[in-house]
DNA sequence: GGAAATATCTGACTAAAGTCAGAGAAATGG
DNA sequence: CCATTTCTCTGACTTTAGTCAGATATTTCC
């Protein structure tokens, strides 16, 4: 496939460049691993576990790296008062200065990439990089089933309700406690979209009859909008319905959610008569599921 | 600068992905260095020196890596019959199979990047990647002075003449031997454009009077066209003229080279009367050099 | 034909990056 | 309150990726 070939060629070209970046990180007489770790320490301090997780380090290795940075006077380690097994890492003034030096190196390298280009080439490059980054972000979002009562699921649903409350002119009251109560019955499903593990969207399927299910709680976090997540969630929910032997899905929506309506129409939904007494619903849609 | 920030953000995002690619290369129980070397062996065989050069390896290190691949049965080593100090590396059947396995891994990884995207997103991603790659290629091209009698300079000039011969309806004869004979006088300059060390363009500046120089031998290799190399060469030659205290540059061109004429006009040249008896010239241009 | 240059190989080393098996301290669950 | 779990640290080890100084064979230059 031509596109696969283009991606591989792109990878090769870009790895070449990022290699230069890594080399520049060695310009300060410190191994790359140390520099990377220094970069991951958050301004307000981090706990070791989160650093380890982000960089994928072994506990012993991380401990030693941190000790090295500590003896260099770049970070300070202290026990977390809330849980004294944990230790908190903070940057010292020297550490902050060192990080700024690394930042300056990176900035210089980025600027040197732009330097030979004309103004219009620079603009094109930056625009294309933004596009690649956005689409790689979209591609990194994974959709998978999630227990409806998990912390992440509840966080998504709460975010969804919070947003409805902010957008509906008269506010929004989830009524029966909100969290849908029981875990999904047979044929139901709760899906969650994650970006690097972080939940950024959800959608639920609730059977409402012999052959019909209702799609509910479709929500995408602001940071993940415009990436086609809602489209993918909808398609995944339809697939789930299909696999449970259902032949029709319905959903309702509020007039203020115009993007949602456009999405439903584009996905082949057509408007039908009111089928429930949801006080927040203004439009009702259905879609008959083919064998796909 | 916002664009520098975008580049750094892009680097971070892309390094994450290409890291995944390198990890996938480890899936075949062989260190990355070995796999990379296996990849660099050309289908028809390579000599060790060129492999070393492309991967930047120490001679001892390369020797050991090759030995490892040889004992694995992936490559065969034999002396170059033309120069028995040299050794030639060829892939064995097993080596070829192994390389195909790596190729498949890369293809899978690239395909998995595309899989979650819609058709239009895929098209956008591939287009943006092509754009980034093209512009990074443009940014990698460096322009620098070159002795006019170096092998690379002569290769460029010969390519230039070859192209003129192909493009001019009546062919082209460089007349006085072509290679401009003597090395540049004072105030003259020969510039060469290189992509990863390979020459991909040239341009010369010849003083023709007290305050004037002529621009000659402007050429860009086909592989580097559309990247703004000619524009940069022209600007660099003008800079060279300016630094020699010259205030005016002139040049001539043939009617078949219409891209060239557009470039000259855009760079602020205006057409003047014939100033030489070059039988291949149809148009003559000049530009007065401001202090910049 | 001999000296110098070139291409590769060998041996001896090093630094970086990481793995693994516990040990010790603190928190948590029943 | 005791067993289990969690979090970090330590010591001992390995692999990868290299560097450097010659040794050796061959070619090229004069």
Q: Does A128 touch chain B (CB under 8 A)?
A: yes
Chain D nucleotides near the protein (CB, 7 A): 6-12, 15-22, 25-28
* Rg, C-alpha atoms of chain A: 25
pLDDT tens-digit readout, B133-174: 999 999 999 999 998 888 889 899 999 999 999 988 877 877
pLDDT (mean) for B271-277: 94
Instruction: Kindly list the distances between the CA atom of residue A87 and the CA atoms of A49, A80, B289, in Å, as whole numbers in the listed order.
Output: 9, 5, 65
Q: Can you name the residues that pair with B195 across neighbouring β-strands?
A: B141, B198
Record: contact B133-A4, CB cut-off 8 A:
no
- CB of B67 nearer than 7 A to strand C: yes
> Residue B121: closest CA among chain A residues belongs to which residue?
A135
Q: Does B39 touch chain A (CB under 8 A)?
A: no
Q: Do the chains contact at B138 and A121, CB–CB below 8 Å?
A: yes
- Banded model confidence at residue B191, pLDDT cuts 50, 70, 90: very high
Largest CA distance in chain A: 71
CB contact under 8 A, B132 and A125: yes
Those residues whose C-beta lies under 8 Å from the C-beta of residue B183, and which sit 6 or more positions away, are B147, B148, B149
pTM above 0.75, yes or no: yes
Any A CB within 8 A of B135 CB: yes
Dist. CA A243–CA A232, nearest whole Å? 16
* Residue B1 to residue A121, Cβ atoms within 8 A: no
Residue B147 to residues A249, A290, B25, B199, B216: CA-CA distances in angstroms?
A: 75, 72, 43, 13, 15
User: Is B108 an interface residue toward A (CB < 8 Å)?
Assistant: no
Residues of A in contact with B122 (CB under 8 A): 3
Tens of pLDDT along chain A (292 residues)?
A: 789 999 989 988 888 887 777 888 888 889 999 999 999 999 999 999 999 999 999 999 999 999 999 999 999 999 999 999 999 999 999 999 999 999 999 999 999 999 999 999 999 999 999 999 999 999 999 999 998 888 888 899 999 999 999 988 877 877 654 444 444 444 589 999 999 888 999 999 999 988 999 999 999 999 999 999 999 999 999 999 999 999 999 999 999 888 899 999 999 999 999 999 888 999 999 999 987 6
B42 is written with which tokens? 């050309």
A262 touches chain B (CB under 8 A): no
> Which residues from 196-225 of B have any strand C atom under 7 Å from their CB?
none
Contacts of B29 (CB under 8 A, 6+ apart): none
Residues B230-239 have pLDDT tens digits of: 999 999 999 9
């Amino acid at each position: 496939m031509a596109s696969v070939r283009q991606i591989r060629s792109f990878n090769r070209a870009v790895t070449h460049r990022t290699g230069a970046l890594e080399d520049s990180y060695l310009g300060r007489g410190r191994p790359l691993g140390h520099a990377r770790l220094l970069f991951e320490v958050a301004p307000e301090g981090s706990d070791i576990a989160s650093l380890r997780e982000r960089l994928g380090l072994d506990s012993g290795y991380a401990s030693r790296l941190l000790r090295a940075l500590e003896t260099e006077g770049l970070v300070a380690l202290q026990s977390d008062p809330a849980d004294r097994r944990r230790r908190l890492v903070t940057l010292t003034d020297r550490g902050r200065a060192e990080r700024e030096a690394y930042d300056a190196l990176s900035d210089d390298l980025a600027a040197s990439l732009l330097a030979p280009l004309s103004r219009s080439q620079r603009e094109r490059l930056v625009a294309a990089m933004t596009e690649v980054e956005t689409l790689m972000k979209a591609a990194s979002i994974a959709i998978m089933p999630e227990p409806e009562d998990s912390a992440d699921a509840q966080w998504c649903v709460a975010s969804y309700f919070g947003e409805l409350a902010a957008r509906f002119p008269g506010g929004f009251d989830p009524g029966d406690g909100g969290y849908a109560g029981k875990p999904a019955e047979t044929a139901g499903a709760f899906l969650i979209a994650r970006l690097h593990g972080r939940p950024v969207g959800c959608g639920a399927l609730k059977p409402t009859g012999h052959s019909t299910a209702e799609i509910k709680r479709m929500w995408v976090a602001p940071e993940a909008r415009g990436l086609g997540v809602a489209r993918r969630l909808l398609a995944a929910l339809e697939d789930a319905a299909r696999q449970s032997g259902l032949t029709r899905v319905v959903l309702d929506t509020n007039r203020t959610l115009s993007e949602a309506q456009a999405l439903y129409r584009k996905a082949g939904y057509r408007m039908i008569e009111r089928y429930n007494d949801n006080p927040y619903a203004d439009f009702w849609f259905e879609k008959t599921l083919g064998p796909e």
